[in-house]
Amino acid sequence: MNTLSASHPLSDGRTSTSPLVQALHGFRPDRLPVWFMRQAGRSLPEYRKLREGTSMLDACLDPQLAAEITMQPVRRHGVDAAIFFSDIVIPLKLAGVDVEIVPGRGPVFANPIRTARDVAQLREEHPAERLRQAMTPIRETVQLLIAELESTPLIGFAGAPFTLAAYLVEGGPSRDHLQARSLMHTDPIAWRDLLAWAAELSGVFLEGQAHAGASAVQLFDSWAGSLSVQDYAAHVAASSMHTLEAVRELHYVDPQGDGYSTRSLPLPTVHFAVGADHLLHEFAKLETSAIGIDWRIPLDEASRRLGDTRTLQGNLNPALLFASPEALEFHVREVIDRGRRAPAHILNLGHGVPPETDPAVLTRVVELAHAY
């Protein structure tokens, strides 16, 4: 067991009783916690103004800029958590991989990984230790944030190994990930080695954020929904488990103890994948504190499938952010009501904030959640 420092926001009591952390530990707090995936930026005019002339990856690696972007939606919306402003390819970038984010397209890699030789060269030239030595801007950003956030938790995050591997093999975004799924079956040993490398990098990235002060971490598996249950279980699940093992042993001493005995609690963890409700039972085996649910399945049905044993996060339909105020309010209430079946619930979108969203609508969702 690895204990977080006494000055960590969980250990010193700043965030340990927050609605988000309580929900992640399976309790129903007095106020329903709400935050939004991709809330840092995206729809905010102040974000677009701040980003003018700065590339995405440069913004992520500038501590002052990244901290300010992370804070903008917290100030504007009154959400119950900040999500660390970064990108899933940042660990790869810090490990020396040649990647750029092309506006309107996404991450693009100069050298796609297609063969066993490519995988071996990637692992040799870009080891996890190189990332570990390059984490200074990430730690500095987190430290700036926790100083300003006070009792509001910061959520760290990383991309899951399959999603990183899919980008690497495809050379960029893809709808069906045919090249990645082909490599998985054509050369399963090379595929295993690629995911093991990606898992180690994501684990280092999560662990660094946690030690620096993040009160929870989320693993995003954006593309897992393209996999069958059999392929996920046989070729992917172990790598996500490997990533989570980097933070699974992180604990903090509960500052709300009775003064006579101490209680050690784990760092809360969340797993989220989109279009992947067929994989819920596999995700449950990862043993995260909560499971994120997209908008395709009602929360009460998701909880039923999981045996009503897991905190759920989600699952507002992003399309309803553009509906009438009455339709949106009805939807928010319905999601909250269906979420009551789970042991605890964190209100969120079933995916990220669309860039075209009116920020006032997000603020209204937070107000509805806190009042309901």
Would residue 167 show up in a list of annotated catalytic residues for this protein? yes
* Catalytic residue check, 175: no
- Annotated catalytic residue: which of 14, 38, 310, 338? 38
- 252 given a catalytic annotation: no
Catalytic residue among 47, 80, 167, 221: 167
From the list 14, 76, 87, 338, the catalytic residue is 87
**Which among 31, 51, 130, 364 is annotated as catalytic?**
51
Residue in 42, 248, 310, 338 annotated catalytic? 42
Sign of the C-alpha dihedral computed for residues 149, 159, 293 and 310 taken in this order: negative
* Residue 87 annotated in active site: yes
Is residue 76 annotated as part of the catalytic site, yes or no? no
| Active-site residue list | 38, 42, 51, 87, 167
